[in-house]
Amino acid sequence: ERVDIVNFGAGPSALPTSILEEAAKGLLNYRNTGIGLTELSHRSKEFGTLTKHLESLIREQLEVPSNYHIAFTQGGGSGQFSAVVLNLLARHRLLNPNVTDEERVMDYVVTGSWSKKASEEAKRLGGGKVNVVVDGRTYSKTGKAFDNIPPHDKWAFSPKPAFVYYCENETVDGVQFSHEEGSAQAFPFHLTDPSVPIVADYSSSFMSRPIPRLKDHALIYAGAQKNIGPSGLTILIIRDDLLVDTDAAAKLGAAPVPITLVYKTLADSGSLYNTPPMFPMYVSELVLERMKNSGGLQRLEEANRRKATLLYDTLDEAEKKGLVKVKVQPGSKSWMNATFELVGEGAEQKFLEGAEAKGFKQLKGHR
Ligand code: PMP
C-alpha cells in the first residue's frame, strides 16, 4: 500500500503510483505472455518490442537525429566516468597515432562535485592529461563552494583535446546550465572546436526538458533513477563517430577497453551484447509513454519551469525574512535540485523534523 507522503528524494526518486502498479502486474504476467517481465528472455520478441519502443520514446521526444545511437546499459553515471575516458582516448589514439600520452589532453569543465569526480576518474585512468577548463569554486561567493556557472571569458579550453566534458545538472550542489540560448550561464558551444567531441552528463536532468543543441554533442548519458525509472539502467546517446574499434586502438598503445564498456559493442548489438537491465527499462518505458501521452517534453518543461519559479520565489521570500540561505547564484540555480540551508543553530534539524511530521520525506541533502 502506498502511504500519503511527498517524496523529495533526488535520486532514486519518486515514481507515479499508477506506473508502479502497472509494473507490478507486468512482473506477474507481462503483456499476456503468462511470464513475468523479469523471467522473460532478453532475446524474446516481446522484449525486443519493449526496447525499440523505449528507444523511440526517447528519440522522438528529444529529437535525436539518425546519426546517433541510443544504447541501454548498466554501471550508472559512475560507470560512464570510466567508459567515456577509455572510449574517447581510444578514438583519439586512432585519429592521432603519433601524439604521446603527455600531449593527449582531456578537457573537464568542473562546476560541481559530480564533474569533479568524473575528472578524478580521468586522472586515475591515465592515458592522457586532465585540463580543468574552469573550476566553479574559483568564482563562488566564498571561493570554496560550487555555486555558479563561471563567466565564459574565464574558460580555458585546450587547443585540440580528445574531448570536452561537462555535467549539465550538478545534483549535489544545485548548479545547472541554463538552456536559454545566449545566456551567460548556457554552455559556450561557440567557444569550442566543432571537431572536438563534447560529452555531457545528464544524469539528473534527463527528460525534464529538451536538450539544447543536442546535435553539438558527441555523447550524452544519464542514469534512469532520477527522472524516469529505477536504478540499474544507464542510457547513452552516442554519435556515430564514437563507435570506434577499441582493439585496433589498443594495438597502437591505448588502454584495452572492457568489452561491456565499448560503445561500438553496445550500439552494434542493439544493447544485447549481454543481458540489459530489463526491469528498469520496463518501468522507464511506462514512464516515458505516460509522459508522451500527457503532452510530452514541452508540457513537462513548462510544468518544471512553473515549479522551479514557485519554489525559488518562496525561498527568496524566506531568505528576506532571514530564515534560509540559498547559496547558488542567480542564473545557475537548478530546476531539478534546489539546495538551501536553514539559518540558525539547530534550525535545520528542526525544519527536517517538522517536514517529516508533515509527510515531506528525504528533504535532507547530500552529506
Ligand atoms: N552524475 C550525476 C550528475 C549524478 O547525480 C549521479 C548520481 N547521483 C552520478 C553521476 C552517479 O550516478 P550513479 O550513482 O548512477 O553511478
Please say whether the dihedral angle defined by the alpha carbons of residues 332, 170, 109 and 305, taken in this order, is positive or negative. Answer: negative
Centre of ligand 1 to C-alpha 177, Å, is 17
The last residue of a domain, from among 256, 287, 318? 287
Centre of ligand 1 to C-alpha 366, Å, is 12
In this structure, are 83 and 173 located in the same domain? Answer: yes
Q: In what order do the strands lie in the sheet with 198-201?
A: 68-73, 234-239, 219-223, 198-201, 163-167, 105-110, 129-135
Q: Nearest Cα to 93, choosing from 85, 104, 102, 84?
A: 104
Is 114 an active-site residue? yes
Residue 292 lies in a domain: no
- Say if CB 191 and CB 152 are below 8 A apart: yes
Q: Nearest Cα to 112, choosing from 341, 327, 362, 342?
A: 327
- Say if CB 265 and CB 36 are below 8 A apart: no
Is the shortest distance between the CB of 227 and ligand 1 below 6 Å? no
Catalytic residue among 114, 147, 173, 333: 114
In this structure, are 231 and 351 located in the same domain? Answer: no
Residue 149 lies in a domain: yes
In this structure, are 282 and 308 located in the same domain? Answer: no
The last residue of a domain, from among 236, 269, 287? 287
Neighbours of 293 (CB within 10 A): 8
CA of 10, closest atom in ligand 1 = 8
Q: Which helix (H) or strand (E) holds 361?
A: strand 360-361
Q: Which of 204, 261, 284 to mutate to test the pocket of ligand 1 (most atoms within 8 A of CB)?
A: 204
- Say if CB 253 and CB 81 are below 8 A apart: no
The last residue of a domain, from among 252, 287, 322? 287
- Say if CB 68 and CB 237 are below 8 A apart: yes
CA of 167, closest atom in ligand 1 = 3
Strands 234-239 and 68-73: antiparallel
Query: CA 109, CA 341: separation in Å to the nearest integer?
Result: 26
Is 333 an active-site residue? no
Q: What is the pLDDT along the chain (367 residues), one digit of tens a residue?
A: 899 999 999 999 999 999 999 999 999 999 999 999 999 999 999 999 999 999 999 999 999 999 999 999 999 999 999 999 999 999 999 999 999 999 999 999 999 999 999 999 999 999 999 999 999 999 998 889 999 999 999 999 999 999 999 999 999 999 999 999 999 999 999 999 999 999 999 999 999 999 999 999 999 999 999 999 999 999 999 999 999 999 999 999 999 999 999 999 999 999 999 999 999 999 999 999 999 999 999 999 999 999 999 999 999 999 999 999 999 999 999 999 999 999 999 999 999 999 999 999 999 987 6
Burial 135-169 (b: 16+ CB within 10 A, else e): bbbebbeeeeebbbbbeeeebebbeebbbbbbbbb
Cell 513537462, residue?
300
In this structure, are 204 and 142 located in the same domain? Answer: yes
Query: CA 252, CA 254: separation in Å to the nearest integer?
Result: 6
In this structure, are 340 and 283 located in the same domain? Answer: no
Query: CA 70, CA 56: separation in Å to the nearest integer?
Result: 9
Cell 563561471, residue?
150
Residue 97 lies in a domain: yes
Is the shortest distance between the CB of 76 and ligand 1 below 6 Å? yes
Is the shortest distance between the CB of 204 and ligand 1 below 6 Å? yes
Centre of ligand 1 to C-alpha 30, Å, is 30
In this structure, are 253 and 118 located in the same domain? Answer: yes
Closest residue by Cα to atom 10, ligand 1, is: 77
Closest residue by Cα to atom 4, ligand 1, is: 203
Query: CA 181, CA 170: separation in Å to the nearest integer?
Result: 20
In this structure, are 57 and 160 located in the same domain? Answer: yes
Q: Give the range of the structural domain holding residue 269, as residue numbers without chain letter.
A: 52-287
268 φ/ψ angles, rounded to the nearest 5 degrees = -65, -30
ipTM, two decimals, is 0.99
In this structure, are 223 and 258 located in the same domain? Answer: yes
User: What is the length of the chain?
Assistant: 367
Closest residue by Cα to atom 15, ligand 1, is: 76
In this structure, are 205 and 121 located in the same domain? Answer: yes
- Say if CB 100 and CB 228 are below 8 A apart: no
